[in-house]
Structure 1
Amino acid sequence: MEDVDSLVRLKFYGVRDLANGWLAEKAVALVQSYSSGRKLLSLNDALELHNALEFEKNNIFPNFLTAQDHTELALSARESRRRVASFFSTIEASNLKEHLNKMDFQYADDLLRLIERHGVAKRVGGQMLFEALSDAALPLEVMLADRQFVNRNDRKLREVMLSDAQNGELLVRMRLVKDSNPLYHLPASLSGEDMQQLLSAYIGSASPHLNYVQAIAESNDNDSFGLTPKIRLEAKKRHKDLIEELLAAKRTKTTNTYHGLRLDPEQRKPVIDRVERDENSVSYVRSFSEKYLLSSMDPERILLNFASVVGFLERGLLTMPSFKGQLGALRTLLISGRDAYPRGSAFNYVDALTLNGTQFYSDFLRQYSIEVEDSVAWFFREYLVDKFGAANFYFAASSPSSSFLERCRHISAEMESIARQFSLYCDEGVLDPELLQMTSTPRPWAAIPSFTERKYLHRGSNHNCDRAMHLLFSDQSGMTYISSELKASNFVELITENEVSYESVRPHQKESIDWLIDEGLVAVDSDLLEFAQPVQVLVLSDINNREAAAYGHYGTDEASAALVLMQKGWLEFSSTLLTRPEASYFNYFLNKSEFSDGPDLRNKYAHGTNADPGDISTHRQSYFQLLRLLVALTLKIKDEFRLAARAQPSTMSETP
């Protein structure tokens, strides 16, 4: 590479790049200098000038330019574009390799684009151009990003891809991970069998990336992309081996996480959570009061205990789903399969405690000859009739003598029946058993209706709302650190737990603070920052934490604040039984309609692809996962009837 290129050259990374503001001045200076007679001495000069011209093309200018400056810059840009075109017209077979040997690889994508635009391939020949680019080590992924180049070199690119097992990683990054790049183009001649061969070679290679192997295992079957059950099984086994190798390495230090439950005969509070730590482990222990559980053994109290003591429900929303706001910036940066359910530490914590809690509480009740399913059956057969006059609902509990395999098959079918019953009730206002028998197709979990018009609040498609949520709650907002004494995980925490003066705010943060002030969320009182509308911030916090808010559970102040945010276009109402994250949670455990890596419990037990009947431990685990979903669905329906009775007392009254 030529010595002059040891200097940092200008690069345009897109209209949203944060560096555009301070690079624009340099771009303008470059355009003006070349239009005034400066010569293009190398390929890198031409590529840098092309990048400078992208600033002008996208109207990214320094703030100090006048209208006259803009007019003159347009003329300079026209002349500079002519110079770039003239330079590329001089590239021919005799000097092609010399130019490429000195190329700055940050311009690789620009090079292909300009080669196509200025007809270089026609002058030097397609075969020679491909060989020269390969000899210059132009990255394969750069080649695949240019559709015209891929089409022109289809067969050659296929051969290159199949020649190296590591190119299987490129396939994964192109299609199988979250935030895959849709701009890559595969050679048309690369068949599904070719890609299966490449993925298999990558899985079996000496050092495949652990997370990419996991992404293959978590993907949905797609024969046209080489994804077959056999390939996914290879990836699953290889992933297990890689994990074992990682843990066996002496240099790897791990922290073990444990989740425990205990029954305390002397404890007063219904439930207490503790965290116990030592050098190599963290234990999350949930303690239940034996006296309290023994005092609440009737069916209604049992369901309420699942909601509050086992921890299924908070203010009408399930606690168990994965929520984007809980993942954090680090988790979102980790590689995960494109179709995988997003699971972070918060999800894993609640999942372990609620699943173990379901099993623990069920076993506790069974000591007193009480089955949880019987409480569910009581709710549908008696409670809905007695409290709300909603007749004809039914649920048939499993036989206490049935195996866990039989219970899993039974409860899967009964849960679908409950969903159909409730949907028909919402549509018709009554549950007609004969009409129910004629409606065999179940609705997707996200499409089960509600008879509460304003059931949930969730974010609308609004840029200002997105910006406010980012500034208030994100750990990557740039608003979390002022000094070593004034720092927090997000801006809301920073303001609520500290006295922060407006003058102490760093210069780069003041524009965002001023914007929040203009939006009426933040105020300055005696130079101290405070929330001008704290209730609105609380509502937005609910949306951030659970991706929805149960409007019917709000008091007067919260409801008023929510309506203001809705009128601004920041929030919207929806009317379904489940929120979007809740529906996704059901999909994750029950089917593969949305995610590729879930237990697929409904389909496995409905279609006979479940574990060996003799594997009692696996079926027991599946049963408690299904029982947790059944109780969660029952609690959501119970909450639905209570909210509707409160909103429409004249048509649906809740009797004491």
Structure 2
Amino acid sequence: MEEPAPRDRIKFYGPGDLANYLIAEEAVALLRAQPEAGRIASLNEALEIHNALEFERHDILPSALTPEERATLGLRATSLRGQLAGFFATIDDTNVAERLAVFDREYVHDLLHLINRFKIVSNVGGQRLFDALVSAGVPLWAMLADKSFVKGHDGRLRTMLLSDARYGELLVNARLLRSGSSASFLPESLSADDSQQILKDYIDSESPHLNYIEAIANAHDNAGIGLTPKVRLAAQRRLIELTQVLFADRSNVVSGVSYAVGIDPDQEEPLRDRVERTGARRLHQRTFGGRYLKSSMGRDQILANFTTIIGYMDERGLLALPSFRSEIGVLEGLRVTGADTYPRGAAYRHRDSLTILSTEAYYDFLLQEGTKVEDVIAWYFRDYIAEVFGIAGFDFAPSTASGTFLERCRHLCAEMESIAKQFALYCEDGEIDRELLEMTSAPRPWEKIPSLVKRKYLLKGENEDCDTALRLLFSDQARINFINSDLRAPSFVQLVLDNHVNYESLHHYQTGPVDWLASVGLVSVEDGTVGFRSLPKIRVLRDINTYEAAPFGHYQREVAAAEDLAGQGWLDFGSTLLSPAEASYFNFVLNKSEFTDGHDLRNRYLHGTNPNARDEKAHREAYMQLLRLTLALLLKIQDDFALHSGAAGDASRARAA
């Protein structure tokens, strides 16, 4: 048996991994140290040489290498590839178990790849090779990650999947999760009945993972992969059971976050936030100034308050309500989630809790002052846009004050949909033909509602350079964020903007990424100091990274930079009322067209599958969600009208001045 390696072995994680710059020099040193006429002695040695050769194959090499050194290294790599082929040619049915018995588990994917590449099965036989790999400890999840291996061992893998209820997690990972540790492929011989049995066995197993059960419960029905209403119902019931067990002992809950929102009648400032900590528990308290709210009772001021102090929207017309992927932390991203569930993390939950509680508090305050929020919405569509923009024909009918919250929910769902149709019709025809509107019954998908502004947003295109730049500039995991204990920041952009960064102070593995950013016109190095060639470009890319859309219609100083990025093929122009993240948020709240775990409020209330009619508390909570979304729709429409008329541009110029 081999002795444990005295050092960490070289591992190539793929051409796009930033860790490559850390170990490229080690890979080159290993290739140079291997005797040109030597022989590879062990499997781990062969696997490490293969990984080192990948650096040479993808030309990920230290920038200090001269052209002559690169050429010499290429010749050495050709020789070593021959040695690699020679080693695997010695594996046959007499020694396969011994040769595969010990290997570094980090190389498991490389092992399967090379076994297929050098056609070991022809010397060994399929069953004997499979048995040797199982005996060596190659896990089933790794086998399923290799498409060629799955194809070559179809029947054997099917039998193995059916042999243990725990393998249900592999089926969920392959078919139901947004992202697993790697891609997974299933045997073609695995039937729908097989899949259903695996899922049932997993749901009924002794200790299934809570998140995997949740993924089954939230998945779309698909009989072809064993997902039926009965299977999902079983998962939903098991999810409740597992959750109850988890939280049965409250002493196990050592941390938590809670929220409290109220109105202080004597407070003059619009908004005050504070946090109280008791051990690991946190209470976020938000109070609104009663005096300020009473001084801003005009209907236009009320809408402005929802925008600013309640926190619905920023000054450039982007809603703050959606979940944005850039906010989801690394550890949160590791959580097992269904492929069709709404991606959200702590930042979204924090904002969602505060805005819904704030909406409720402000709604009650206005009601006490004799103002109904729905009447303000009706005023905006009936009167305000006609007076300010000269647009007639819009209509919104508020629900009756005497109606129950169940009735108001149903009414508000219909009115929200009507407003969306009216706006889409106005965008397309320049007017609202009421008869034509009445003939249009099908709702318009939220992501396809048009805009009056031809180039309203910039969206990220399918461009690898753009993806790389965003990762290097803004990711808290980029290896160029930390130079030393005094020069570090959550992102490279913040590091450079907040500090004087000398190019010479960069580590050897950081110069490659920084040089690349310079080559695409984002970074400059002047007099040895690292800076940004175009701050407007950085601001545009920051918006793309943060909001998944850049508000091009509101740009002033960034216009030229934004157009340049679009000309490079990095970004595309979009012309819809809602940005992609905003449309996804509307879908999450209103329906299940995009996410299986959505609130589905529109369908529940219009199709009669809402909570018990006597549960007034549940209907009030749903009403507040629908009211928040209706107000968000109004604010987006207001922003669109203002941009189209030039009012937003005038306001932006006034702020800049």
- Global fold match (TM > 0.5): yes
Structure 1 residue aligned with 2:145:
145
Structure 2 residue aligned with 1:405:
406
Greater shift after overlay, 247-256 or 360-369? Answer: 247-256
Structure 2 residue aligned with 1:205:
205
Distance of aligned partners of 1:559 and 1:219 in 2 relative to their CA distance in 1, 3 Å threshold: same
1:46-445 aligned at under 5 Å gives the runs 46-48=46-48, 50-51=50-51, 54-55=54-55, 57-59=57-59, 84-85=84-85, 87-180=87-180, 183-247=183-247, 252=252, 254-315=254-315, 316-445=317-446
Distance of aligned partners of 1:52 and 1:542 in 2 relative to their CA distance in 1, 3 Å threshold: closer
| SS of the residue 1:313 aligns to | coil
Structure 2 residue aligned with 1:636:
636
Q: What is the deviation of 1:447? A: 1.1
| SS of the residue 2:165 aligns to | coil
| SS of the residue 1:331 aligns to | helix
User: One-letter code of the match for 1:355?
Assistant: I
- Is the 1:499–1:528 contact (alpha carbons within 8 Å) kept by the matching residues of 2? no
| SS of the residue 1:287 aligns to | strand
Q: What is the deviation of 1:521? A: 5.6
Distance of aligned partners of 1:390 and 1:153 in 2 relative to their CA distance in 1, 3 Å threshold: same
User: One-letter code of the match for 1:408?
Assistant: C
1:532-571 aligned at under 5 Å gives the runs 533-554=534-555, 556-559=556-559, 562-563=562-563, 565-566=565-566, 570-571=570-571
User: One-letter code of the match for 1:541?
Assistant: R
Deviation string 1:599-634 (CA, Å, 9 cap, x unpaired) is 111122232222222222222211111111111101
Distance 1:40 1:568 in 2: 47
| SS of the residue 2:258 aligns to | strand
Distance 2:326 2:234 in 1: 33
Q: Structure 2 regions of 5+ residues with no counterpart? A: 650-657
Q: What is the deviation of 1:361? A: 1.7
Structure 1 residue aligned with 2:476:
475
Distance 1:345 1:377 in 2: 35
Distance 2:173 2:196 in 1: 15
| SS of the residue 1:434 aligns to | helix
- Is the 1:220–1:596 contact (alpha carbons within 8 Å) kept by the matching residues of 2? yes
Distance 2:325 2:601 in 1: 24
User: One-letter code of the match for 2:395?
Assistant: Y
User: One-letter code of the match for 1:402?
Assistant: G
Greater shift after overlay, 361-370 or 230-239? Answer: 230-239
Distance 1:59 1:520 in 2: 22
User: One-letter code of the match for 1:359?
Assistant: E
Structure 1 residue aligned with 2:652:
none
Distance 1:467 1:282 in 2: 37
Q: What is the deviation of 1:70? A: 6.7
The alignment's C-alpha RMSD in Å is: 3.5
- Is the 1:175–1:181 contact (alpha carbons within 8 Å) kept by the matching residues of 2? no
Q: What is the deviation of 1:638? A: 1.5
Distance 2:60 2:517 in 1: 25
Structure 1 residue aligned with 2:595:
595
Distance of aligned partners of 1:635 and 1:3 in 2 relative to their CA distance in 1, 3 Å threshold: closer
Distance of aligned partners of 1:23 and 1:226 in 2 relative to their CA distance in 1, 3 Å threshold: farther
| SS of the residue 2:284 aligns to | strand
| SS of the residue 2:170 aligns to | helix
1:28 aligns with 2:61: no
Distance 1:75 1:514 in 2: 27
Q: What is the deviation of 1:637? A: 0.9
- Is the 2:341–2:596 contact (alpha carbons within 8 Å) kept by the matching residues of 1? yes
- Is the 1:457–1:549 contact (alpha carbons within 8 Å) kept by the matching residues of 2? yes
Distance 1:254 1:383 in 2: 51
- Is the 1:455–1:575 contact (alpha carbons within 8 Å) kept by the matching residues of 2? yes
Distance 1:46 1:165 in 2: 35
- Is the 1:193–1:226 contact (alpha carbons within 8 Å) kept by the matching residues of 2? yes
Distance of aligned partners of 1:516 and 1:16 in 2 relative to their CA distance in 1, 3 Å threshold: closer
Distance 2:495 2:307 in 1: 32
- Is the 1:5–1:104 contact (alpha carbons within 8 Å) kept by the matching residues of 2? no
Distance 2:108 2:513 in 1: 36
- Is the 2:113–2:146 contact (alpha carbons within 8 Å) kept by the matching residues of 1? yes
Distance 1:106 1:469 in 2: 28
Greater shift after overlay, 233-242 or 401-410? Answer: 233-242
Greater shift after overlay, 470-479 or 43-52? Answer: 43-52
Distance 1:40 1:539 in 2: 51
- Is the 2:554–2:648 contact (alpha carbons within 8 Å) kept by the matching residues of 1? no
Distance of aligned partners of 1:24 and 1:518 in 2 relative to their CA distance in 1, 3 Å threshold: closer
Q: What is the deviation of 1:63? A: 6.2
1:450-461 aligned at under 5 Å gives the runs 450-461=451-462
Structure 2 residue aligned with 1:654:
none
Structure 1 residue aligned with 2:491:
490
Distance 1:87 1:299 in 2: 80
What TM-score does the superposition give when structure 2 sets the normalisation length? 0.86
| SS of the residue 2:344 aligns to | coil
Give me the identity figure in percent: 47
Distance of aligned partners of 1:647 and 1:461 in 2 relative to their CA distance in 1, 3 Å threshold: farther
1:610 aligns with 2:613: no
How many pairs align?
A: 644
Structure 1 residue aligned with 2:654:
none
- Is the 2:32–2:73 contact (alpha carbons within 8 Å) kept by the matching residues of 1? no
Distance 1:560 1:64 in 2: 36
User: One-letter code of the match for 1:328?
Assistant: G
